[in-house]
Structure 1
């Protein structure tokens, strides 16, 4: 190894160690801020969906209706804090005078916090994994509206956490059969047939079309179960 390469490797190690230390401090600070802000938030449902859903899209109105009816049943609403479905859900929660929580993420495009989040319940994150921890730790159910890669990421991560018993089973509801049925058909006809999931894994997921069905799925689930933190 020549002297130049040795010097480059040494400098890289020093720089990487310093950067890692700063990053770790930032990550810990984000966790602490989230835990402190949400520790006593009470029963909540997280609603996921596309930031690109416009107010004239039927799923925008449906997201608002779902959130409003869940709030009227005593649940706080947690969203990613941005536009689209997230805005609609926070708007519905605010209309019902329910708790309206936003877990924003700093992105170079799309993401900005909406105006329907309670002022003391808006948190912003740099790291997706910290943000997702807050969704899963402080929710007692998950509603998946139509969305893109981010929504799919959240859907499969939550399904995995429930499937592997990393936290207790809880309702997970896909809203919009037209949107989700193709994915669920593939899961049943490919994943299941290949033996990569078990038949009981499919029972973890409900698929519905209306706000009332969403509420029924979640309320019925908890009729005989206590509402409790996930971790």
Structure 2
């Protein structure tokens, strides 16, 4: 039996194997064996024919990406940063929505309120957009901030690896996306009962949705919250996530997920006040009044966004 192997030298090797196969047929108490012998000749390698297709590796340098030691080293740096700054609330959200967007203002106020309520470190991708909003909100509350940056955000490569205003020792510039994911997940895991952590999904695009379903899967598989449960909030500002939630309902109808299986993994909040009240109840904290200076709802954003000072430098 012959088969061909495509080599980097664009030659085909036709290999023929000689193998003896024994087939045994059992009928009652009788056994009959028949030998089937397949023979062939080992033919010399010949030049690839015009009908053959041979795929060659391009001259791409994969040395950096194939080094597990480098990835491991970066993950360890993420863990060291978390150990130093403390676990806390991890925000997932769009890098594209600027300070003029109403969701930026709401995210700023939410992070400010949660940081004060839980007295915990605020974590994010330390990038632009809503990540910038939660960073500034936590700083406004006077609470610690940490982050895991990546080279490309909102479809654009960053001009510099240095954050515009955060201290260098409060964030890590990640080369490997897998290391960044490890950091963002670990920052929200409760190590001891006194830890007050959470995952908060703000409006976002493909990257945010990837993180939302990753966290959901880890909670479902008890990779997060196996010992100490962690709240996961989905901020449904202006019904942003309503169609996604409708898709989950469709999945239940098709039978790809069990009824209530996904919705049990998170808490959907339409307003910042709902989110704060839920976290206060979750951790048995006092009334949330005073932790939220503004709760933007619908059309109120148009008037609020111009009156809230969010330029923290």
TM-score normalised over the length of structure 1 = 0.84
What is the aligned-residue RMSD (CA, Å)? 2.7
Q: Which runs of 5+ in 2 are unaligned?
A: 12-56, 189-196, 286-313
Greater fraction helix:
1
Name the counterpart of 2:247. 186
1:4 lines up with 2:9 in the alignment? yes
Q: Is residue 221 from structure 1 mapped to residue 270 from structure 2 by the alignment?
A: no
The answer on whether the counterparts of 1:77 and 1:100 sit within 8 Å (CA) in structure 2 is: yes
Greater length-normalized contact order (CA 8 Å, ≥ 6 residues apart): 1
2:73 aligns to what? 29
Aligned to 1:121: 170
Q: Secondary structure at the match of 1:78?
A: strand
- Pick aligned residue for 2:262 from 201, 204, 208: 201
Pick from 166, 187, 196 the counterpart of residue 138 of structure 1: 187
User: Residue 120 of structure 1: CA displacement?
Assistant: 1.8
- The answer to whether the aligner puts 1:60 opposite 2:120 as a matched pair is no
> 2:132 — aligned with what?
87
* Compared CA separation, residues 25 and 183, structure 1 to 2 (3 A): same
| Greater Cα radius of gyration, structure 1 or 2 | 2
> How big is each residue's C-alpha offset from its partner over 1:168-188, in whole Å with a ceiling of 9 and x where there is no partner?
142111112510011101101
Question: In 2, are the aligned partners of 1:68 and 1:96 still within 8 Å (CA)?
Answer: yes
Match of 1:147 among 182, 191, 204: 204
Q: What secondary structure does 1:4 align onto? A: coil
What is the alpha-carbon distance in structure 1 between the residues aligned to residue 199 and residue 175 of structure 2? 22
Cα 1:42–1:145 change in 2 (3 A) is same
Q: Would you say 1:210 and 2:271 are equivalent positions?
A: yes
1:69 alignment partner, SS class: helix
Summarize the Cα distance change of 1:122–1:148 in structure 2 as closer, same or farther, 3 Å threshold: same
Measured in 2, the distance between the counterparts of 1:70 and 1:29 equals 32
CA deviations over 1:107-158 (Å, ceiling 9, x no partner): 2843646545344211111222211111111112111111000000000000
Q: Number of residue pairs matched?
A: 218
Q: How far apart, in 2, do the equivalents of 1:141 and 1:63 lie?
A: 15
State how far apart, in whole Å, the 1-side matches of 2:8 and 2:151 are: 41
More strand by share: 2
Distance in 2, matches of 1:116 and 1:143, equals: 23
Displacement of 1:88 in angstroms is 0.5
Supply the distance in 2 between the matched residues of 1:117 and 1:43 (Cα, whole angstroms): 18
Q: TM-score, normalised by structure 2?
A: 0.63
